[in-house]
Amino acid sequence: MKYIILPSLILATLLFSCGDSKESTTNDADHSSVNADLKMKAGEQVDRFADIQVIRYDIVDFDKLTIDQKKLVYYMSQAGLAGRDIIYDQNNPYNLEIRNCLEDVIQKYKGDKTSADWKNMMVYAKQIWFANGIHHHYGMTKFTPKFSESVFKNYVKQTGAKISDQALNVMFDPTVAAKRKVKDASKDMIVASANGFYGKGVTQQMVDDYYARIVDKTAKHPIEYGLNSTMILKDGTAYEDVWKIDGKYGKAITKIVFWLEKAVTVAENDTQKKALKKLIEYYKTGDLKTWDDYNVLWAKSTEGDIDWINGFIETYGDALGKRASYESVVQITDFEASRQMKMVAENAQWFEDNSPLIPSHKKKEVKGVSYKVVQVASESGDASPSTPIGVNLPNNNWIRQEVGSKSVSLGNIISAYDKAGGAGLLNEFANDKEEIALADKHAYLAGKLHTALHEVVGHASGQINDGVGQPSETLRNYASTLEEARADLVGLYYIMDKKMIDLGLITTLDVGKAEYDGYIRNGMMTQLQRLELGQDVEEEHMQNRQLVASWAIEKGKADNVIERITRNGKTYFNINDYDKLRTLFGDLLREIQRIKSEGDYVAGKALVETYGVKVDQALHKEVLERVKPLNLAPYRGFVNPVLVPVTDESGEIIDIKIENNQTFVEQMLYYRKMYGILD
């Protein structure tokens, strides 16, 4: 629960208005090869469909790495991609069967590919590829095929593809597996959710009872219970089916370990090597104490130029916030950008000491916070095609408190977003020319700084009272939303602090004002274009932003801190007093940290449900009407560059080349051929 996702609506300078685009098509060629005629630059559009735009990112200065460093990047990227199938099964038990059938049809069908049915099926396939399954990656609702079951059965018959009646029912019956994750406390969230984290017959009460029995609330170093297992019924009793080399997902994990063992041979230093060996041990045993041991080693491994994220890490996909999705990110240090931003990490203790938190909730010593800007070289699982822009790990609170954490900003991802940008949404929703001018001048830097403050200071700040336990146990289904709100508020509070000028990070507090404008705009209006009219907000990052914005508006009413304006039938939000708004952000930060520190579930629930969930339906309708003419894609993601080993006559790798020309369809079919391990 410790990463920032950058929707295409968050930063004004990262918004765009896209004209008509040609939908990618495919033929029966070998899709393992790249199309040499397509030479697109970072940020350029690869594909556009439904509510998605797919773009490209570059890897800068890869040629400056040594051959062993290139090998390390390659081996870790292969390890990451080897686990790609896992996320599909985690998201829904029928995802792999449906995806594989679609891919077989796409590659083998010889009939008419110009018909509306075929084009609609291609859009459906692309949606599944982008979301790693049949449910929307952000909204969690199931995709509705715009082609009939009979048409699809005909495609299957003509190509010899295979699919079961049960999988067809999941595809076409809107009442079956309707939502991947349901976060409605009035329902049995386990039974209502369609993800693969819990087996048939498992109920929320069973899960609660199971962990009530086994969790040691007095443990000084608690493990992350449930992180790497599917909970199933075994002889009528709840049982954790652990994900490990000789257990569930073992075939894919075996391949992950194969590549990790190669990576050990080219590790940059002993600390890296020890961390990799411990990660291998964890995958072999599935032991969560070993996972903590690995994270301690990984958090201390800050000297190399190459780093990675690999494992079952983020718990956003589980309504109870226990089970983690598989993800992989392989990254290379961007030295110049990291030098510019390390000032934030070096002053983490100052930020903690001067925060508006209750004194007993502050860390007396902020340990081991490191911050780097990196170049992403490869992503997989829950990090691809939709990717975070910032990461702060590990997640276990005791490790963060006693050992420290690593924060990274994905520089080439942010750069690609920026190059794809435009100003359509900003011009439509900003209140006046002054607000637009502030965004034009400062929003890009403001977004980078807010990300750095969110990751380095926000997630590293605060401490839990002794004996309270992990937020996943105390705050349960509200833990992720509250944690993201807490980290956002740290960034919002300090981006308007003169300390930022003293550190040389900005020259004017107008940077903070631009971030405040954009945050309120997005939290109250622009992010609503992601929802269908009538829907509540369920995704944690969206809940977090609406919670912060709507709470601040309500609490600032007496002083008219934020004014809601209606002009020519359109709604705008104007900040009248940035200093008072900063004070309000500090007040909310203090309260959310208190909730986390004390494990106050009742207060946490009240905050999220009151301010973060329900949508002003009239305003939502207005937003949808205003956005429609702009032809915006609310979501963006990426194709990955392909790393290609160059070998000598003996088969020894002598170089790694980058090919960055695949279309979205080509890449997805290439991945099936190369990494379809759980077929």
pLDDT above 70 (res 650): yes
pLDDT at res. 421: 65
- d(C-alpha 42, C-alpha 414), whole Å: 10
pLDDT at res. 272: 98
Average predicted confidence (pLDDT) for the chain = 91
Domain count, the chain: 1
pLDDT above 70 (res 91): yes
Choose between 42 and 511: higher pLDDT. 511
Residue 186, in any domain of the structure: no
Residue 677, in any domain of the structure: no
Mean pLDDT of 136-146: 95
Q: How far is CA 628 from CA 15, 17, 157, 572, in A?
A: 14, 11, 39, 17
Mean pLDDT of 529-545: 91
pLDDT above 80 (res 569): yes
Amino acid at 453: L
Q: What is the pLDDT of residues 476-497, one digit of tens each?
A: 999 999 999 999 999 999 999 9
* β-sheet bridge partners, residue 572: 565
Residue 422, in any domain of the structure: yes
pLDDT at res. 480: 92
Q: What is the pLDDT of residues 233-243, one digit of tens each?
A: 999 999 999 99
In total, the chain counts a number of residues equal to 679
Query: Band of the pLDDT at 336, cuts 50, 70, 90?
Result: confident
Q: Which one, of 448, 421, 331, lies nearest residue 60 by Cα?
A: 331
Mean pLDDT of 108-125: 98
- Least confident range from 47-56, 186-195, 417-426, 589-598: namely 417-426
Residue 364, in any domain of the structure: yes
Q: Which residue has the tokens 């940077």?
A: 511
Of the chain, the percentage scoring pLDDT greater than 70 comes to: 93
Q: What is the DSSP string of 250-289?
A: HHHHHHHHHHHHHHHTT-SSHHHHHHHHHHHHHHHH--HH
Residue 586, in any domain of the structure: yes
- Least confident range from 24-33, 417-426, 458-467, 553-562: namely 24-33
SS3 for 508-563 is: CCHHHHHHHHHHHHHHHCHHHHHCCCCCCCCCHHHHHHHHHHHHHHHHCCCCCCEE
Residue 506, in any domain of the structure: yes
Half-sphere exposure at residue 517, Cβ-oriented, CA atoms within 13 angstroms: 31
pLDDT above 80 (res 506): yes
- d(C-alpha 298, C-alpha 279), whole Å: 9
Choose between 55 and 23: higher pLDDT. 55
Residue 113, in any domain of the structure: no
User: Environment class of residue 510 by beta-carbon count within 10 Å: exposed (0-12), middle (13-18) or buried (19+)?
Assistant: middle
Mean pLDDT of 159-184: 97
pLDDT above 90 (res 40): no
Q: Which one, of 348, 335, 386, 345, lies nearest residue 136 by Cα?
A: 386
User: Environment class of residue 489 by beta-carbon count within 10 Å: exposed (0-12), middle (13-18) or buried (19+)?
Assistant: buried
Residue 417, in any domain of the structure: yes
pLDDT at res. 424: 86
* β-sheet bridge partners, residue 39: none
Torsion over CA of 183, 386, 413 and 323, rounded to 10 degrees? 50
pLDDT above 70 (res 5): no
First to last CA, the chain: 29
- d(C-alpha 548, C-alpha 609), whole Å: 12
Domain of residue 339 covers 3-16+332-635
Specify the pTM. Answer: 0.81
